[in-house]
Structure formats: C-alpha cells, structure tokens
C-alpha cells in the first residue's frame, strides 16, 4: 500500500511546553479511516470500552457514578460497526476506580441487549469480586462465592464472561494452590469458555503478587498450569503486563485451544502481527481511542498487507505509550480525552472526577501525538476542544 502524503493543515494552536512557555503547534492533515469494517479480520479483536459520564447529573462525582447511557451505548455501536468486539465493564470502564458492581451490572445488561439487537455482536463482560471488599474477605470460599454471584448474574443476562483478577484473592492467596482452588472451582461452573484476565499491578497496585508470588517466573508457571488444566473452559487469556517477552513466552506454552489476547498497550502492533511461532489476538484499552485505525490496520493484515498494517498501526504506538505511562492506572483519562476530542461525547468529564488525574502537559502531548498519528477525526473540532480544556486550566494565548 502506498503511504499517503499528508499535507500540512492550516490549523494551529498554542500548546504548553515543559519549560512553561507556549509553542505554536501546527496540525498535520489527519488520515481518513473508514467508519465501518472494510473486508474481514483474521484476528479476534476487542476494545475495552469506556463509559460516558453524565456531566449534568446532580450527584457527588467522587461518590456516585452517573452514566450517560445513550452516549455510552452509542460508543459501543461505533466499536461494533468497525468489526471489533466490546470488552465490557473492565478497568477501561473505570471498574474499581469509580464504577461499582451494581452500575457495572446495569452497563452489562444494557450492552447485552444492544449486542443481541445486532444479531449477537461480539461482547464479553467482566466478572470479578468487587462487591466483596478486600478487607471483608476472610477465606478463599468468600472469593469463590463472590465470583459465582457475578458470573451467575451475567450469564442470566445472556452475557459471556471475562474472569477479572480479584483484589480479595490477591489479599488471601498465599501460593499457586490457593489460586488453583479458586479458579478450578469457578471455571468448573461456567456455561461457555471465558477469557481470563491477568492484570498487572502497574494497572492496579492492589493486585501485587497475583498468583501467590512476587516472582513473575513463578506466577507465569502458576497461571499457565491453571489455564491449561482448565482449557476446555477457557476461550483465551488476556495478559496486561506491558512485557512483550513474557506474553510471547506464555502464548507458546498455552494449550492450543486457548487464545492469547494481548493486553500490552506498549507493544500491541508487533504482538498482533506475530512471528513464525504464532500471534496474539487483541483485547486492548487503546483500541477504544484508536478504533477506526485499529479496524483498518487489522483488515490490511487479514488481506496479507503487512506493510499496510504497520503503516497504520505503528504511528499509534507512541500515543498509546504516552496514554499508558506511569502511573498506568490513570490511562482512562487519556482514553476519554480522545473520545472528547473526536466527538463521541460532549464534555471532558470522567466518573469519579478522574479528568483531573493527568496534567495539562500530559494532555497537550497527547494532542500532538494523536495528530501525528492521524487520529483526529475532525481536526477543527479537536482544536477547538483542546483550546477549551487549556483555557479551563489557565492556559490562554
């Protein structure tokens, strides 16, 4: 595929720099990606989708999650139009960072109905133990019961399961045997194959020492052993460790029936492309922010156009690394900021007031990187909205 020539846009704005000055930044002309899937895909690809806050709700934002349901479901329709699946009620939706279980359940129920209305669009939903406070968990059976309650409720609604990592299990589990007891019991009861999510502590510090050890090598052995022993009940595993070598090693050790879904928002392009030994499918938070580009890149890969795949996806990686930089758990702010810049919502407000979790300089650099990757769908609107956010934070030309 010939690389398009991008003319310079006449648009410009003043952006802050690290030395406290303002620079004139001139936008490039954004690339245009299809709003619907073109062709087919040869990877299963999920976007972990954010929720749109109801910014006009009369609630205390730090205490109550107010959701704009129409905009939230409309975003999922956008993802499905692009041929991607939706991973619902995950950490990208601020699960455990403002979104509680009861609100998550309503979100899942609404998304299941929307997916079924489209003829069963691809949708998996997060089942965890977050209605059980970690400090209230006394025994492993408490964790098992909490998992069972959420799984039963989601399956009753017609949903499929992503088995999320448990803060309560991270507190109680002392060794691989403890984790095997919980996962073996829970997996024996699920109706359909689940996706197991190994979320690293850079995303959630409460998950430190998951799988019962501080050694990642031993944790990998424990996880692979549990997954392969239950392969008939596991669709795949999503690994979010931001370590491509460990993901590659793990996918080579998995039972052939089990898919590897990359959750590596730093190295996803090369992991999805794969090597002579295999490849990863995708379940990524960054696909929320770059869904049109991701869909088009994946369609080029399926068509045998590896160069076209990398031409589209490689420029998005610097943006993703910036959005997911440490403290990584605050990446949701950048994902929602991209949704605001691209018109998927009318405000830059997050559940729990998390719009304040990233600095003004961080948002300014996000804008630059999104522009350079050709990801601003409507540069005029994005520029106007960037200026509004800067003005709110005291940056005016």
Name the residue among 249, 252, 246, 290 with its Cα closest to residue 269: 290
Q: Is pLDDT at 159 greater than 80 in this prediction?
A: yes
Q: Is 28 helix (H, G, I), strand (E, B) or coil?
A: strand
DSSP H helix total and E strand total for the chain: 15, 10
The answer to whether the CB of 86 falls within 8 A of the CB of 291 is no
The confidence score (pLDDT) of residue 1 equals: 46
383 occurs within a structural domain: no
Beta bridge partners of 13: 25
The confidence score (pLDDT) of residue 10 equals: 79
What CA–CA distances, in Å, run from 307 to 300, 312, 365? 8, 9, 27
The confidence score (pLDDT) of residue 396 equals: 83
Q: Is pLDDT at 2 greater than 70 in this prediction?
A: no
369 occurs within a structural domain: no
Measured CA to CA, the distance from residue 161 to residue 100 in angstroms comes to 17
Averaged confidence pLDDT in the chain: 96
73-96 core/surface letters (b: 16 or more CB in 10 A; e: else): bebbebbbbbbbbbbbbbbbbbbb
Q: Is pLDDT at 3 greater than 70 in this prediction?
A: no
Measured CA to CA, the distance from residue 227 to residue 264 in angstroms comes to 19
Banded pLDDT at 43 (limits 50, 70, 90): very high
Q: 52: domain CATH number?
A: 3.20.20.70
Q: Is pLDDT at 170 greater than 50 in this prediction?
A: yes
- Percentage of residues in the chain having pLDDT higher than 90: 95
Region 2-13: mean pLDDT is 64
380 occurs within a structural domain: no
Q: Of 2-6, 234-238, 258-262, 386-390, which range is least confident?
A: 2-6
**Residue carrying the six token digits 């995950």:** 90
Region 147-175: mean pLDDT is 98
What CA–CA distances, in Å, run from 191 to 30, 156, 159, 235? 45, 10, 10, 12
Structure tokens, 201: 């502590």
The confidence score (pLDDT) of residue 30 equals: 73
By the 10 Å C-beta count (0-12 exposed, 13-18 middle, 19+ buried), 135 is classed as: exposed
- Percentage of residues in the chain having pLDDT higher than 70: 97
More confident position, 357 or 31: 357
**Residue carrying the six token digits 């730090």:** 62
Measured CA to CA, the distance from residue 168 to residue 178 in angstroms comes to 12
Q: DSSP secondary-structure letter at 7?
A: P
The confidence score (pLDDT) of residue 9 equals: 63
Name the residue among 213, 136, 203, 131 with its Cα closest to residue 170: 213
Q: Is pLDDT at 82 greater than 50 in this prediction?
A: yes
Q: What is the pLDDT of residues 304-330, one digit of tens each?
A: 999 999 999 999 999 999 999 999 999
366 occurs within a structural domain: no
Complete DSSP assignment for 166-206? -HHHHHH--SHHHHHHHHHHHHTT-SS-EEEEEE-TTT-GG
* Orientation angle between helical segments 331-341 and 360-372, nearest 10 degrees: 60
Q: Tell me how many degrees the CA angle 95-125-91 measures, rounded to the nearest 5.
A: 25
The answer to whether the CB of 348 falls within 8 A of the CB of 296 is no
- Stretch (H or E) spanning 282: strand 281-284
Q: Is pLDDT at 4 greater than 90 in this prediction?
A: no
The confidence score (pLDDT) of residue 314 equals: 97
Residue 156's domain comprises 37-352
21 occurs within a structural domain: no
Banded pLDDT at 8 (limits 50, 70, 90): low
27 occurs within a structural domain: no
306 occurs within a structural domain: yes
Q: Is pLDDT at 6 greater than 80 in this prediction?
A: no
Count of structural domains, the chain: 1
Q: What is the pLDDT of residues 196-252, one digit of tens each?
A: 999 999 999 999 999 999 999 999 999 999 999 999 999 999 999 999 999 999 999
């Amino acid at each position: 595929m010939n690389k398009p020539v991008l003319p310079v846009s006449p648009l410009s704005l003043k952006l802050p720099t690290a030395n406290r000055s303002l620079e004139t930044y001139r936008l490039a002309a954004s690339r245009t990606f299809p709003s619907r899937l073109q062709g087919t895909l040869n990877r299963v690809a999920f976007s972990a989708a954010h929720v749109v806050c109801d910014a006009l709700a009369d609630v205390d934002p730090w205490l109550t999650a107010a959701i704009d349901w129409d905009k939230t479901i409309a975003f999922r329709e956008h993802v499905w139009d692009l041929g991607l699946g939706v991973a619902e009620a995950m950490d990208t939706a601020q699960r455990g960072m403002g979104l509680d279980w009861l609100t998550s359940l309503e979100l899942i129920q609404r998304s299941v109905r929307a997916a079924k209305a489209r003829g069963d669009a691809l949708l998996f939903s997060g089942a965890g133990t977050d209605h059980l406070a970690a400090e209230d968990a006394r025994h492993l059976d408490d964790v098992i019961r909490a998992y069972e309650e959420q799984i039963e409720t989601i399956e009753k609604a017609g949903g499929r399961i992503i088995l999320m990592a448990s803060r309560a299990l991270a507190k109680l589990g002392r060794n691989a045997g403890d984790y095997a007891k919980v996962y073996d019991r829970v997996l024996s009861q699920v109706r359909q194959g689940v996706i197991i999510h190994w979320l690293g502590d850079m995303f959630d510090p409460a998950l430190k020492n998951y799988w019962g050890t501080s050694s990642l090598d031993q944790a990998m052995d424990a996880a692979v052993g549990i997954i392969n022993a239950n392969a008939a009940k596991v669709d795949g595993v999503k690994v979010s460790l931001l370590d491509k070598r460990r993901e590659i090693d793990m996918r080579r050790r998995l039972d052939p029936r089990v898919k590897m879904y990359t959750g590596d928002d730093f190295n996803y392009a090369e992991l999805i492309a794969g090597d002579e030994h295999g490849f990863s499918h995708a379940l990524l938070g960054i696909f929320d922010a770059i869904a049109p580009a991701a869909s088009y890149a994946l369609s080029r890969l399926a068509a045998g156009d590896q160069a076209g795949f990398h031409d589209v996806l490689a420029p998005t990686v610097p943006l993703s690394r910036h959005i997911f930089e440490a403290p990584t758990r605050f990446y949701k702010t950048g994902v929602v900021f991209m949704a605001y810049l691209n018109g998927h919502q009318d405000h830059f407000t997050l559940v729990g007031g998390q719009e304040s979790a990233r600095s003004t300089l961080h948002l300014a650099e996000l804008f630059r990187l999104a522009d350079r990757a050709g990801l601003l769908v409507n540069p005029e609107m994005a520029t106007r909205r960037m200026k509004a956010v800067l003005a709110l934070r005291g940056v005016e030309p």
